[in-house]
Amino acid sequence: MKAPRRTLHYAWVVLGALVVVMLLGSGLRAVFGVFIKPMETTFGWDRAALSGAAAISLLLLGAAGPIVGWLADQWGPRRVIFLSAILLGLGAMLSSRVSALWQIYITCGVLMGLGAGRVGMSTGAALAARWFEARRGLVMGLVGGAMSAGQLVIVPLAVWFTLSYGWRQSFLYLGVLLLVIALPLTLLFIRDDPAQKGLEAYGAGQAARAGEPAAPPEGRTRVADAMLVPAFWLLAGTFFICGYTSNGLVLTHLVPHAAEHGFSEMHAAQALGVMGAMNILGTVASGFICDRFGRKGPLAFYYGVRGLSLRFLLYVWNVPSLHIFAAIFGLNYISTVPPTTTLTANIFGRYSVGSLSGWIFFAHQLGAALGAAVGGWVFQSTGSYSWAFISAALLAFLAVPMALAIKEAPVTRTPEPTPAPAGLPATAS
């Protein structure tokens, strides 16, 4: 007798579309560092002024998180992703037309910051948590890997566009690319909830594993209740440090830092490409490790390695050593995402991931905004980024005991009904 044929669960289709959209969105958000020196040359703006635009973008990226996470939980991640892609693409295209500093603050700082915040980790985590009960750590690793892949693909592409056609055309082409790929994928393949396809979440009822805490009952944890739990503040605090040390300082200032030390823009872009490639490997591996060996220990280890790699950056002397730094730093750049989001889901429940991850991600972006601004201020004052990178290394070491102090146990929640699937558009079947 023939065994029944296994069919691909639609959760993997949703994940595939989400990965591509997040790749494009995170990559476009990450390109600002590529444009710093070309815009300095065009307009004569100083590094601190341009770093301010990056800081506003990172701050708004995080500030959007709590609202976006709540919208994703209440309204559905699909609509949020669709509208965010439009906002992000529009911001990039308008950036190609700027002629004054305040316009860069509006286009790159406000529009792209808000757009990227809505197609970012809080929305992606909310969608993935709804569709996957099993393999959650691996799935969060793949979502984080998509953000890394965006850096790997889009940043070198932005450099090539800039060198070939100029920074204005680069902004324009990247914005158009996002819109023509992300919008159709979102409309055709992403669905808010398995119930919209007549399905249960992947691995429903089978996710429990030896050594894992018992799955909390369905329902929501209110933000006010979560803020009474020390684990929430430890997750937010470590993610604040993650933002300061990664998106804020390294992603914003590595290209100009490398240029100040005699590296070409293409060498710096290649280093970001190496970092992005290792991001993918490290983040997916992190999800695999979290599913099998727990979350707190790996999270602490990642921050320790990050601190060491930031110290090493101060002694980079040639292209191979720059690539060694990029590889080491890249391995744990976004590897913090799977343990952080999985801990959030395990402690507070999968229907709370959107809103709570939004607040935790807000802390991340506060750190990122501070890191971007501090990098610019330190360079403007001292002519070097050394003290900025030293501060980042010290904070990364501080995150190690904070991660180990997180208590992973489901909280008792105020009973609230789980969300019914949102009113479906005609294409939902």
Assigned token pair, 426: 């005609």
What is the predicted pLDDT for the residue at 212? 46
Q: Tell me what percent of the residues of the chain surpass a pLDDT of 70.
A: 86
Q: What's 210's DSSP letter?
A: T
Amino acid at 37: K
Cα–Cα distance between 279 and 337 in angstroms, integer? 11
Contact in structure between 396 and 328 (CB atoms under 8 Å): no
Domain containing residue 362: CATH number: 1.20.1250.20
Helix (H, G, I), strand (E, B) or coil at 248: helix
The answer to whether position 257 is within a domain reads: yes
How far is residue 138's CA from residue 144's CA, in Å, rounded to a whole number? Answer: 10
Locate 231 and state its tokens. Answer: 């684990």
Tell me, yes or no, whether 5 lies in a domain.
Answer: no
Residue 132, strand partner residues: 202
pLDDT, tens digit, 9 for 90 and up, residues 214-265: 444 455 678 888 888 899 999 999 999 999 998 788 877 887 888 777 787 7
Mean pLDDT of the chain: 81
Domain interval for residue 358 = 10-194+217-414
Alpha-carbon distances, residue 158 vs 53, 152, 166, 333 (angstroms) = 18, 11, 10, 21
Residue 202 lies inside a defined structural domain of this protein:
no
Place of tokens 């007549």: 198
**64-90 pLDDT per residue, tens:** 767 776 777 777 788 888 988 899 999
**Number of independent structural domains in the chain:** 1
Position with higher pLDDT, 348 vs 175: 175
Q: Is 420 among the domain residues?
A: no
**Residue 311: CB atoms within 10 Å:** 16
Instruction: Return d(Cα 260, Cα 384) in angstroms, integer.
Output: 8
Higher pLDDT, 102 or 266: 102
Report the C-alpha gap between 77 and 152 in whole angstroms.
Answer: 25
Residue 245: what pLDDT? 92
Question: pTM here?
Answer: 0.66
Which residue, among 114, 133, 96, has the nearest Cα to 56 in the 3D structure? 114
Tell me if 331 is assigned to some domain: yes
